[in-house]
Amino acid sequence: MSLARYAKTLGVRYSHARFISSTPYRLGWVDKIKGVFTGKPSSPSPDSSSSSFSLNDFADQMDKAKTFGMLKKFEVGRCSEATISESFRKQSSILRYLGSIDPGGENLKTSHKQDAATHCNCTISEVENTLSKYTWAKEAQKKMDKLKEEGKPVPKTFTEVQKMMGSTPLDVARSNLKSSGKLGRNAPCPCGSGKRYKRCCAPA
């Protein structure tokens, strides 16, 4: 999975992103950012199973990824680090707002998502995009819990997690928006690029 496509799953707009390539730096980044999408903390925790993984836990992991300096691993073109930071901040805000309504995110209604969009000054597409990352990460953690119980190898990188899942968070966002009738071809793309869906990730 290319860095460009990976950053796109974060809902980040940028051009010509380039990863700083020292090996220890790279491995540290992979380990920390993997926690954002698998629900696993960067350091072992006795309570990291999918059943205990809440919206607020996921928001905490996103904040930690930001604090650990993940943003400094990008050299961006037209998109500043401040823009990427704002994207993380907004997604964390959405997660915490929805977490105050339904910690597990299993009983959220369309009205709750609309309220989150209003409260966080964002679009429904951004809410669905953020929520899809949580849904995807929780399901990934559930599958890894099962693999561990069965004594099978557990994915160690984000690419391996994605291969195990057979999908990306963006795929979940698209599905959620289509089922809610909110994803028209002229709607903002759920990847967060700022482009219309038809000019971005829509099938040709």
pLDDT in tens, 44-87: 444 455 667 789 988 888 777 666 555 444 334 444 556 667 77
Q: What is the pLDDT of residue 66?
A: 66
Of 12 and 140, the one with more pLDDT: 140
Q: Is the pLDDT of residue 150 over 60?
A: yes
**Which residues span the domain enclosing 105?**
3-199
Q: How many CB atoms lie within 10 A of CB 181?
A: 8
Within-domain flag for 112: yes
Domain count, the chain: 1
Instruction: Report yes or no on 204 lying in a domain.
Output: no
How far is it, in rounded angstroms, from Cα 165 to Cα 198? 26
From the list 86, 69, 115, the residue with the least C-alpha distance to 192 is 86
Asked whether residue 126 is domain-assigned, the answer is yes
- Enter the pTM of the model: 0.63
Distances (CA, A) of 40 to 13, 62, 74, 153, 192: 26, 11, 23, 16, 24
Average pLDDT, the chain: 69
> 3-state class of 75 per DSSP?
strand
